[in-house]
Chain A
Amino acid sequence: TQLLEQSPQFLSIQEGENLTVYCNSSSVFSSLQWYRQEPGEGPVLLVTVVTGGEVKKLKRLTFQFGDARKDSSLHITAAQPGDTGLYLCAGAVTGYALNFGKGTSLLVTP
Chain B
Amino acid sequence: SQTIHQWPATLVQPVGSPLSLECTVEGTSNPNLYWYRQAAGRGLQLLFYSVGIGQISSEVPQNLSASRPQDRQFILSSKKLLLSDSGFYLCAWIVGAGLYTGELFFGEGSRLTVL
Is B12's beta carbon under 8 Å from chain A? no
Neighbour of B49 across the interface among A42, A43, A96, CB < 8 A: A96
Return chain B residues, CB-CB under 8 Å to A97. Answer: 34, 46, 49, 57, 59, 99
Is A105's beta carbon under 8 Å from chain B? yes
Whether A43 lies near B44 (C-beta < 8 A) is: yes
Determine how close the nearest CB of chain A comes to the CB of B12; give it in whole angstroms: 16
Is B29's beta carbon under 8 Å from chain A? no
Return chain A residues, CB-CB under 8 Å to B7. Answer: none
Whether A101 lies near B41 (C-beta < 8 A) is: no
Distance, CA A57 to CA B103, complexed state (A): 18
**What interface size band does chain B fall in?**
20 to 34
Interface string of B39-72 (1 = CB under 8 A from A): 0011111100101000001010000000000000
Main secondary structure of the interface of B (DSSP, over half): strand
Return chain A residues, CB-CB under 8 Å to B99. Answer: 92, 95-98
Whether B100 lies near A96 (C-beta < 8 A) is: no
Whether A45 lies near B104 (C-beta < 8 A) is: yes
Distance, CA A43 to CA B59, complexed state (A): 20
A102 nearest in chain B by CB position: B43
Distance, CA A110 to CA B109, complexed state (A): 29
Known: A6-B43, A39-B41. 9 other contacts (CB 8 A): A40-B109, A41-B109, A42-B105, A86-B42, A88-B43, A88-B44, A92-B100, A97-B57, A105-B41
* 19 contacting pairs across A/B (C-beta < 8 A): A6-B43, A39-B41, A40-B111, A41-B109, A42-B105, A42-B106, A43-B104, A45-B103, A48-B101, A48-B103, A86-B42, A92-B99, A92-B100, A95-B100, A96-B57, A96-B99, A98-B34, A101-B43, A102-B43
* B interface with A by C-beta (< 8 Å): 32, 34, 36, 41-46, 49, 51, 57, 59, 90, 92, 98-101, 103-109, 111
Nearest 10 pairs between A and B by C-beta?
A42-B106, A102-B43, A100-B44, A45-B103, A30-B100, A31-B100, A97-B49, A100-B43, A92-B99, A103-B43
* A interface with B by C-beta (< 8 Å): 6, 30-31, 33, 35, 39-45, 48, 50, 86, 88, 90, 92, 95-103, 105
